Amino acid sequence: MSDWGATHSTAESLIAGMDLEMPTGSYYDALYDYIYVSKNLSESYLNRAVGHILAKYDEFGLLGTTTEGSSPLPQDVVEDHAKISYDIAVKSGVLLKNDNNTLPIKSGSSIAVIGPNGVQYTHGTNFAERAYGFPDRQVSTLEALKSRLGEDVANAVGVDQEGTIIPSTHLRNLQGNPGLSRNDSLGGSSNDEIVYFTGTSALPKNASYTWQGQVYAETDGYYTFSFARAIPSWENHTNPDYGSTWSIGTFSINGSEVGEGYRLFGDGGVKPWSNSIATRDNWDNIKSYVYLEEGWHDMEAYIVGLLDEPTSVRLTWVTPAQRSANIQLAVDIAQEVDTPIVFAFANSPAQTGLTLDDGLDELVTKVAAANPNTVVVLNNAEPVLMPWLDDVAAVLEMLYPNQEGGWATADLLLGNNVPQGRLPVTYPASLDSTMTRNPDYPERVATESGNATFSEGLNAGYRWYVHTNTSVLFPFGYGLSYTSFEYSNPNFAASSSTQQSSSGLNYEVSCSPDDADAVFSVSFTVTNTGSVKGVEVPQVYIGPPADAATAYPDVQFAATALVGFANVELEAGASTTVTIGVREKQLSFYNVNTTSWEAAKGERPLYISKNAEEAVFSGQVQL
């Protein structure tokens, strides 16, 4: 199956073994003509593709039966998978900063949960395929902390994602009267003083609705608009019932669309959340953040009905005055507790500029100014800049941790578990220091034609930052612990036994006892030098052959490459020997002349490291 829009041929793709084009039939719609009209393609390729698809359907019992609705999963299965989800969420948490051992929260300390993704459950990045889990297990970190500590946990949303209903006094319909003009696809029209329809007042099903008019901004400033709608239950509905609608709503100011809601394709398992955080009553939130000058502004909102159900919808806002009041309340609460915990998120991939969602950098900055013991918890899918980093005491990166994320985050903050995650990407120091924004590499920026040249070759991602010696905020593989670790006794040649690879190379080092496919290994001792249990993740990186320029003049080698790592859990004061094996494939390059992998001979540097840019020991291996 192709990635979305990744098909670029018809016959060639089918012959190569791609069974299904997604999400449209831009190329495969022509298969009938290829096979049965021009007869330029054998029917056997079509039979093969269809056979693969039907076999997969049959594997899951979807052929020859009619299913009205899915059966509930047994509770023991739900609970078993919840434990797995919790474990993954805990192990994925990355401690980025922890001055003065601010974390874990000390027993008896007063805390405050500040920020929308702390007060509410965070669904995850918007406009992306993802698993949502079970609604009854989606607990916010605030709820989890209250369960662990008691109900007396101060909290403030800080940056409200929805606000209050826009009053008719600040709306003007097409006739110049208070409210908005509404038209629907059934031919109906009316004037609504406010936009809020739910329950018995929900709008008739099987129709789309458009509101037009103007909104009045009392002052210059940033306004948050929330065009929210309830999502009907998916139960007993199938993909054809809802798979044909892509956009579930749009919101425009002064003729420019500033908000759009998405509904993704899926067989009942994918839900539409247009924002990382739903409304407080779990409606989908088509949110926009826009600067308006004082006065009247044209406004239009559009929504489409879903699943043969009435449409519940409302239009709300947060004014600049309310926004300032919300942040000030958060600041006031932060001053009254020992440790304020600010939760912030990035609504990527829609978010641009590596920034947090609208207003959250300001929230962190002002809370940290009020209380230097501030802890920041991040939920994001891509790196973000942290202009406030020097002013906060601790940063815990939780990414988007799934349905058990509230419990996992709470337990890491309280020390019931220890952070052990490591960054899977580099966090750049600035926007201009990234490969795609660095002015020294204009070819990497997509031009008007939509093309960008990946001139870095193998030095992609973290390798590029090492190769160009570009400063970063946090390197790939970075992560702290609630304890400290010391490395000692490095051994880059654990024994003198000679191994011979399948390509005839002799390795004057030993095979790893933990990896039958390893051709040599690196060993060292890790000691927990702190006072609590912790998990360390030592990493091994390899550099290019010393004589690469002369021995392999036409081959590019990465400046550095991760070839192995380990998870080492140690009690306070304990030590262990760690052995990390390296496989032949990790020492090889693809020879385009022989169309095969070839292990590079020569002396290669090896690094025992804490992350991609912090080597503890270095050595060489002769291949």
User: Is residue 498 over pLDDT 60?
Assistant: no
- 327 or 279, greater pLDDT: 327
Task: Give the tens place of pLDDT for each residue, 446-485.
Answer: 667 778 888 999 999 999 999 999 999 999 999 999 999 9
The fold adopted by the segment(s) 164-321 is Jelly Rolls (2.60.120)
| HSE toward the beta carbon, residue 422, CA cutoff 13 A | 17
pLDDT digits (tens, 9 = 90+) for 78-130: 899 999 999 999 999 999 999 999 999 999 999 999 999 999 998 776 655 66
| pLDDT of amino acid 92 | 97
Are 87-159+323-427 and 164-321 in the same CATH fold? no
Position 230 pLDDT exceeds 60: yes
**Separation between Cα atoms, residue 178 and residue 169, nearest integer Å:** 6
Domains of the chain by residue range: 11-59, 87-159+323-427, 164-321, 484-622
What does the mean pLDDT of the chain come to? 89
Q: Which residue has the higher pLDDT, 319 or 71?
A: 319
Position with higher pLDDT, 349 vs 402? 402
Beta strands in 134-279 (DSSP E): 154-156, 164-165, 171-172, 180-184, 189-192, 196-197, 208-217, 221-229, 247-253, 256-262
What CA–CA distances, in Å, run from 396 to 94, 104, 182, 221, 536? 6, 11, 46, 31, 16
What percent helix, strand, coil does the chain show, rounded to 5? 20, 30, 50
Q: Which amino acid is at 94?
A: V
Measured N-to-C along each axis, helices 320-335 and 360-370 cross at an angle, to the nearest 10 degrees, of 30
For residue 419, is pLDDT > 80?
yes
Q: In the prediction, which pLDDT does 62 show?
A: 80
> For domain 87-159+323-427, which architecture applies?
3-Layer(aba) Sandwich (3.40)
- What CATH class has 484-622? mainly beta
Q: How far is CA 375 from CA 356, 380, 613, in A?
A: 16, 16, 25
CB 248 within 8 A of CB 264: no
